[in-house]
Structures are given as structure tokens and as C-alpha cells.
Structure 1
Amino acid sequence: MLSSPLVLTLPPSIQLSDDQFFELCQINHDLRLERNLKTGEIWIMTPAGGETGNRNFSLIVQLGSWVKQDKTGIGFDSSTGFRIRGATKDPMSPDAAWVRLERWNALTPEQQQKFPPICPDFVVELRSPSDTLKSLQKKMEEWVRLGIQLGWLIDRSGRQVYIYRQDGSQDCLQNPETLSGEMVLPGFVLDMSEIW
């Protein structure tokens, strides 16, 4: 089993600006870094194991195929960090995300190049062996608070999918064969046989 994130605590006298943190992430591009804005801690996230990475790849391929055909938005993989006002972590990084094209095009080229200051319309979190279900549920609740329209938390070990919506409604599906993108991603259906 993979370990929990390594936590680097900075003294209060060291305050990294947004640009400095972005530069730190670029210099250490092999690491996935997140910053807790309340405590000033920097979390060094462990990479995914082979099985989780493979399932996440299958998820990205399916979402990417739909994005390419639909053309109403753009997709992102787990290496993308979103800088969202009001978030407790900076940046927030889902395993997969999608943003409506008109919202993405409203950003400046510099904003698109760095950590985009936008909350995705759709996010997916795929639970890995090092994740606790409770921590990911809290993360999904934060995504809803920050403005996602639809979110999926896929728990492979329990063969459950937790669905989160902007209106606060939630569902828990037991071993579904497919997932629907509902009105947010019309026509997108995720084949869960490639994820389980």
C-alpha cells in the first residue's frame, strides 16, 4: 500500500506568493504538490500505483473521446491544479475534470498556462489504496461548495460510486455498469467495466 502524503511545514516567516508556488511546482514537476492555505503546509502527494494509474487512464480515455466528439468543453487529467478562490487547498487537483469551453475561453492566456483560477464544471476522484473514503468525501463536498455542477467519487474497493450535484443532492450507486454525465455532460456514459 502506498503511503500518505508527506507534509512539509514552512515557518510563518516564509510566505510563498502564488507565482512562487507555481514556480516551485514547475521546478519539481515530478512531484504533485498541494498547499494548505490555512496551515501553510505543503503536501507532497505520492504517485498512484500501477493499478490505480491504469484505471484512471481508462477513465481519461473515455472522457477524452467524449470531449473530442462533443466539443463544448475541454478535459483535464490528474496533473492539473485549479486555483479556486475559497478553497482550503491550493491548487485543487481532481483525477479528471471538464470545463465548459466558454468559461475556459474567458480566462487569459496566462491564467490558462498557470493553475487556472476556475472551478471545473465536472470532476472525478478515483479512490486509490492510500486514500481514505472519508477524506475523499470531504474533498467532494468542497468541490460542490466551490461550484462544480457534477462530481463522481469512484470507490473501487467498495464497488460504489458517490454522485455529487451542485444542488446538494447525492446518490450512492452499488456496482453500476455505467455512469451518466446527466445534463452536465449530455451523452457521456462511462463504461465501469474498464474502471472496476
Structure 2
Amino acid sequence: MSSLTIKDLEKLQAKHPDYRMELVDGNIIVMSPSGYESAEVAFEFATQLLNWVKPRKLGRVTGSSAGFILPNSDIRAPDVSFVLAERLRKSPRSFAELAPDLMVEVKSPSDSLKSLRKKIEDFLSLGTRIGILINPEKHIVEVYRLGQDVVILTDDDVLTIPDLLPGWELAIADLWSPEFE
């Protein structure tokens, strides 16, 4: 069977606008909705990041609906992404044709850690500088950089990314969904 292309994805997406899809290695993957908790954690991460990035005009923060045409022609959409302003001066109407500088995946109950780690590795190999895997079930955050050991953070830690976002800090304990009495 021949590999599918971006045009094939666009046609299929036009026929089924309510489905989120990615193009990976010439195959179209239909993405299921995430779990409530994982969506809430992703939104919290994105909000914290956006609230710091936007007043400084450092770049663009997007959620899971923003697709990227990667250098290998895959179209992928991380749960949260950040692109430096100098790399994306204006938001494209369609997909951004680059790898984001930072991409974040949040484990949902239907996700496997293996597939999420593979997605992060793929992004890093295509130019993403930092990949983050957030596991709400275990209260663990894994930080990936190409060619470096994975950094594991827990509730007592603070995430910093001085090489990309100097001065930004995020307490890991602040990511998790609150419990109301």
C-alpha cells in the first residue's frame, strides 16, 4: 500500500472535521479524546507557560489542536507546544511547518508510556529542543533532551528550562488537578 500524504490527511480531515488526526510514517492515526484529568493538566501547563511567555513576547504556546508539519513530512500535534518568536513570526492559517522548540505530552488513561516516549523521541530527532512527558497518575514529569539522560521530577521539584525559557519556573505540585471538599 502506498503512503498517504498531507493532501490525503487534509481531504480526510475535511470529510471528518470532528476527528483529530495525525499523519505518521504515511499512516493516518485518529486520536481519541484525552481523559479529563490529563486535559486539565495539559491546560494548566499551557496556561502557566502562556502567562509567562506572552507578556515577554517570547513566542507562541498552543494546545493539542495545533498541528506541525515536521521535517520528515509527518503531521503531529503535541498536547502543548512552544515555538520561539523568531522561528514563527506570524501564526500560519494551517499547520506550522517546523518542529516546536518545546513539546509536551500528558499521559491519558488510554495512552501507553512507550508510545508517548517514542513520540517525544521522534520530535527531538526532528529538531525539537525539549520534550516533556507528564504522568498525572504517578505525579511524575520526565524531561527529555536529545543525547542527554532523562531528568525525572516529582512533587518536591520545580521545572526550569534555562536554555529555552530563562527565568521560567513551574512547581511540579502545581500541575495536578485539585480536589475540592
> What's the TM-score, normalizing by structure 1?
0.79
CA contact (8 A) 1:152 1:164 kept: yes
CA distance in 1, matches of 2:86, 2:16: 32
Of 42, 46, 49 in structure 2, the residue corresponding to residue 56 of structure 1 is 42
Aligned match of 1:31:
19
Q: CA deviation at 1:17?
A: 4.0
Q: CA RMSD in A?
A: 2.1
Identity %: 35
CA contact (8 A) 2:24 2:76 kept: no
Alignment partner of 2:69: what SS?
coil
Would the alpha carbon gap of residues 174 and 58 (structure 1) be closer, same or farther in structure 2, given more than 3 Å must change?
closer
CA contact (8 A) 1:22 1:115 kept: no
CA distance in 2, matches of 1:131, 1:17: 25
CA contact (8 A) 1:83 1:118 kept: yes
| Counterpart AA for 1:62 | Q
- 1:101 correspondence with 2:85: yes
Q: CA deviation at 1:16?
A: 4.8
Alignment partner of 1:30: what SS?
coil
Equivalent positions of 1:1-196 (< 5 A) are 12=1, 16-37=4-25, 40-86=26-72, 90-105=74-89, 112-196=92-176
| 4+ runs deviating over 3 angstroms | 166-169, 174-177
| Counterpart AA for 1:85 | P
- Unmatched tracts of structure 1, length 5 or more: 1-11
CA distance in 2, matches of 1:171, 1:16: 36
| Counterpart AA for 2:88 | W
CA distance in 1, matches of 2:167, 2:15: 39
Q: CA deviation at 1:82?
A: 0.6
